[in-house]
Amino acid sequence: MLQQFISRYTEQNLGKYKCNEPLAPYTTWKIGGPADVLVEPAGKEQLIQTVKLLHDLQVPWMTVGRGSNMLISDKGVRGVVIHTGSALDYVRQEEHLIHAGAGYSFIKLSVTSSNLGLAGLEYAGGIPGTVGGAVYMNAGAHGSDVSRILDSAEIVLDTGELVRYGAEEMQFAYRHSVLHEKRGIVLEATFRLTPGDRQELKALNASYKDRRRRTQPLTSACAGSVFRNPPGDYSARLIEEAGLKGLRIGGAEVSTQHANFIVNTGQATASDVLTLMERIQLTIKDRYGVELVPEVLVVGER
């Protein structure tokens, strides 16, 4: 089926593709084995046609944006990986609405909206990844998240059907959306913002970015917060109190700067990271009776 997919993908001129492509360069953790086939559709319509083709041929697939919240297994991914690349990297304003392609940087969107004097996205000033990933995970910080400002999202379902969901239909919860159950790809998100003072918004945005820069290992290869915060507490506090900062397995290390981050010190494997995550979970469960739930997505052949 893969060869048939490649033939039809090429015939329809849908975009670029690579076989046995290592996925580590496509993630912020710089970890991951190869994809059988990696495709980069040339635009939105080509991406929709790609999903339809995959559905028709019953080829397994997944998507990668900037790979900031993802751990790809050492064996890689069987089937097709869709890399949105530049196809969905755009933004446009319509009065108080901001329309952003799913491939647009979430941090950059925060800066853009602040520069336009539109309030609501300042909290995203230090959240890595793409708009699509932010919508998928209902990304949040500083008491806000995507659910509070999303007007609607344009989505291609895994059948190839194009839909637009409002905020209620997205079924947002803590780091969760309907796309965890109903498979599809966010193509574009529309955010409803409010007018604000441009200089104040820019200053607030900069302060959030500076705070993250000082408290998180953003210059190291990492994937953001590894575990969700348990109700009424913080994963970082529990991990640090348990004395796990600096704990290393292979090339994976619990950050000495922020205990809920695991950094790749240079040669970490997905196995190193998973083993370290399990060690943390067992320690916290044994010591505090708290089960830490991973926030990062673990994908690929195990």
Active site residues: 175, 225, 295
Do residues 121 and 114 lie in contact, with contact meaning Cβ atoms separated by under 8 Å?
yes
- Residue 33 contacts residue 76 (beta carbons within 8 Å): yes
**CB-neighbour burial class of residue 246 (10 A; exposed 0-12, middle 13-18, buried 19+):** exposed
Q: Which two tokens stand for residue 117?
A: 């004097």
Buried b (16+ CB within 10 A) or exposed e, 19-28: eebebbebbb
SS3 content of the chain, % helix, strand, coil (to 5): 35, 30, 40
Alpha-carbon distance 140 to 145, whole Å?
Answer: 4
Nearest-CA neighbor of 205 among 108, 138, 97?
108
* Region class of 194: left (phi > 0), else alpha (psi between -120 and 50), else beta: beta
Residue linked to tokens 């009424």? 232
* Nearest by Cα to 101 from 147, 140, 146, 65: 65
- Coil, strand or helix: which one is 51? helix
> How many Å apart are CA 104 and CA 102, to the nearest integer?
6
